[in-house]
A and B are shown apart, each in its own frame.
Chain A
Amino acid sequence: MTSVGVSHRRKEGPEKLCGLAKYIDDLSLPGCLHGVTLRSTINCGTIKSIDFETGFPWQEYVRVSAMDIPGRNLVALIEEDQPLLADRKVMHPHEPILLLAHPDRAKAYEALKHIRVQYEALEPVLTMEDSLAVKRALYKENNVFKSFLIEKGDIVKGFESARYTVEGEYRVWHQEQAYIENNGMAAWVEPDGTVTVQGSMQCPYYIHKALVKIFGLPEEKIRVIQSATGGGFGGKEEYPSMIAGHAALLAWKAKKPVKIVYDRAEDMPATTKRHPAIVRHKTALDKNGKLLAQDIDVVMDGGAYATLSSVVLSRGTLHAAGPYECPNVRVRSRVVATNTPPNGAFRGFGAPQTLFAVELHMEKIARAVKIDSLTLRRRNLWKEGSTTATGQVLSESVGACEALEHTVKKSGYVRKVKEYASWNRNAKKKTWKGVGLSLVHHGAGFTGSGEVYLASKAGLSITEDGRLQVLAASTEIGQGTNTMFSQIAADALGVPFDWVEVENPDTKFVPNSGPTVASRTTMVVGGLVRRAALAMKEALAKEGLVLKTPSDVKKAAKLLCGSEPIRRFIVQYEKPAEIVWDDATYKGDAYGAYAYAALVADLEIDKTTFEVKINKLTTAQDIGKAVNPLLAEGQIIGGTAQGVGYALLEHCVYKDGAMVNGQFTNYIIPTAMDTPAMDVKIVEKPYSRGPFGAKGVGELPMDTPGPAIAAAVNFAAGVWITELPLLPERILKAINETQGQR
């Protein structure tokens, strides 16, 4: 009765379908106050005064400012540069300054209108260019949060022997995660002084770490509980630490529970976005289109504080050269500070930006070398035994070729290239048609030595009444964590899927299995769950017990728990000995394994409105092993749809460093009509270190649509656009420019 590989039904599905799952806004806490946030209206400067209108009933409100913070005024993450509440200095629009709470939600919001903040504003730095030129120093002396350098071989030699040299510049902007449930957090203080928060989140232990510093309390006096979470996509990776800190401070001061739930118009402009990026490529090729050298330069916009920018940049850097073998590579990258709200985690985490650039650049190379881009990719893609830019030798589980060939065949790519070229020559047609191709890789788990630092723990427990529970801080945010962990534990233990439950992520009960990010949940934490289950199985085997019937589980409970209410089997991450990584030189095995995906976009453009309509997306993705094929397919389709939005629709309009279209009325995400039918094939090239062969799947599908759709649009309209999103006005402009040149 194996469960891995079977599309078991989503564990928490029935509660969600019946409207019974409790998201944070659904939770009623007796005596709860509503918290609201006063935010800066300038980019950069100093707070001169905060004036509270006289005559307003301030006695009804609880107020918290930076001065009230018992511990450190800090959102602890990687660097310690971001305050929980601005204290004199303001670094970006929408920066939190002051908190208020009131029993009535409307009255809480009303009060914000009766506070006047006087600033002394400074000239802000709003662009990457101005930041690099150090128009004003925002972070250290050069505004660079982090920089990386990857070097392989000798690029000078590579360019000397080149038959072709191709240069290109590619640009992408902010993208909003647009989870349908806004951010929200409740907090209260237990009678024993434990500060407790519950809410929408991806990473309970990030919040835990932040609260320990904010309150200066010992770890056991902080408790973080996840409520049902209505989507995350990275958007609930780090920002919830901020909201949790705010809610907890208000609750601590008010001595009452406090809930902060953002509305959309607050959530969108104030919380993190995908990093904008400028990527430059210079590539050397021989006469057959074999890569000789890649020189790549990446700049990302981190916003006002460091948050996760260094890690986003790292992943972006490590994916910048694409899944191609090249003897000489240099990647230089940096992420810089601007007076805009901090950018942060979003599915793909830097890779969609750099993979867009390298994949679209492959199209440019193909034009220059005068071969088609499919042949170009076939000649250069990674195979088993290939060496990456960091010098990692790919010894197993390389499905790039399978993914590419399946996608090309299934989509009829080659035929359509010819067909659409002739269609487009017919001036009478009302549309232009195009097809475009992309091929990507995505490293699963934390970068380089990240997993070693995390040293994650996860486990499996059995209670005295015979309940088997997976213990992990990995959150269910829609991706199917609960279901997959149950399947993995069930198979390792040799019991049916239904016998295994998953404990709710609550720092009081679950160990720190690290953040729910980086496509690491199945591969890394799933691997720990499997080992914990094997440990339990072994302990039972020693007693001569094999779990076959429910009564065996009762027996096991007696044997293992003894007189205790619960027995836990907890295991910790151990780095496989053969994985070697050097942080100083950025050389070695950047990731244990990579997942691969190819995608063909088939679309047409209306000749009068310049609107793009995607007719079909065909994709094949090598994820090692689909623990639950239906859930994996759901991740692929959902991630691809977000990529479609990134490519065509999603445009964060920034004015003076702040997002001005922060609502669903004007920030457009794909609807069911905008999202095309998708043909998805899962390729399984097992990874020996992943549980049952699994690699990551969460982020991979986000990487493919941008470059494939851009290639298809360029093909269809006969233009060369190197920037996303491909809005009709951008296409029209490119057409006019191209015709002007003729």
Chain B
Amino acid sequence: MKLKVNGKSRSFAGAPFKRLIEVLREDFGLTGTKEGCGEGECGACTVLVDGEPVNSCLIPVCSVEGRRIETVESLGNPGKLSPLQEAFMERGGAQCGICTPGMLMTATAWIKGGGSAAPGAIRECLAGNLCRCTGYQHIVDSVARAVKGKGGGKRR
């Protein structure tokens, strides 16, 4: 089966009902995507499928055959962070970092979809991603900063 992951085409020959998160982490070595609960509650495993955030712990790989998948590895690298990642550095959006890849993917979709910088709206958008460290405020600040185009995102 063929998938498009972070712009590259990949093939997968294992069990079709293997969970997407396991295929990404084990078969493709993309361990940036994290598993916090395995039951669709925490959002740590969030990746984008055709631009939409999904919990990769819940979906079998066969259901995303041929579709466009983006993980945290598509965003930037330590030498060249993406504007959203820059905003997280600047505003303290990551503490222990385990929820961060999922948060970044949800926020990426939000920004691309023209989401607003209003804290209430951002909180609603992030409600499916649990974070136990930050109390969310610095994450909300980071995303707002990115939406406004300071250290990230397009100005809208």
Contact = CB atoms under 8 A, between A and B. Distances in A.
Interface of A: 7, 9-10, 12-23, 25-26, 177-182, 228-233, 263-264, 477-480, 630-631, 633-634, 637-642, 663-665, 669-673, 675, 677-678
Contact of A17 (B30, B96, B104, B136): B104
A228 B89 contact: no
B38 A263 contact: yes
Given A10-B89, A19-B71, A640-B135, A181 B36 contact: yes
Contact of B98 (A230, A670, A673): A230
Interface string B113-156: 00000010011101111111111111110000000000000000
A180 B44 contact: yes
Interface in B80-101: 81, 85, 88-92, 94-101
A478 B39 contact: no
A451 B119 CA distance: 43
A189 B39 CA distance: 34
B50 interface: no
Contacts of B127: 671-673
A664 B41 contact: yes
Nearest to A632: B92
Contacts of A179: 96, 98, 132
Most buried by A among B41, B44, B71, B139: B41
Contact of B138 (A16, A634, A639): A634
B32 interface: yes
B99 A180 contact: yes
B72 to A, nearest CB: 4
B130 A180 contact: yes
Contacts of A19: 30-33, 71-73, 101
B38 A17 contact: no
12 contacts: A10-B92, A14-B85, A16-B97, A19-B33, A179-B98, A229-B96, A231-B96, A264-B36, A630-B92, A634-B95, A672-B129, A672-B131
A675 B135 CA distance: 7
B34 A230 contact: yes
B41 A663 contact: yes
Given A634-B92, A672-B129, A17 B34 contact: no
B109 interface: no
A631 B92 contact: yes
Nearest to B32: A19
Given A180-B99, A633-B92, A672-B139, A20 B78 contact: yes
A22 B31 contact: yes
A285 to B, nearest CB: 36
Given A25-B34, A230-B99, A478-B133, 16 more contacts: A14-B89, A17-B94, A17-B100, A20-B77, A180-B36, A180-B132, A181-B34, A232-B96, A480-B95, A634-B135, A637-B134, A637-B135, A638-B132, A641-B135, A672-B123, A678-B137
Contacts of A230: 34, 96-99
A341 to B, nearest CB: 20
B100 A16 contact: yes
Contacts of B41: 663-665
A264 B38 contact: yes
Nearest to A478: B96
A478 B135 contact: no
Contacts of A642: 132, 135
Given A13-B88, A230-B98, A264-B36, A637 B72 contact: no
A637 B137 CA distance: 7
Given A19-B32, A23-B34, A264-B38, A13 B96 contact: no
Contacts of A677: 119, 137
B1 interface: no
A-B CB proximity, top 3 nearest:
A19-B32, A478-B96, A230-B98
Most buried by A among B37, B78, B132: B132
B136 A664 contact: no
A558 B90 CA distance: 36
A548 B150 CA distance: 33
B101 A233 contact: no
A526 to B, nearest CB: 18
B16 interface: no
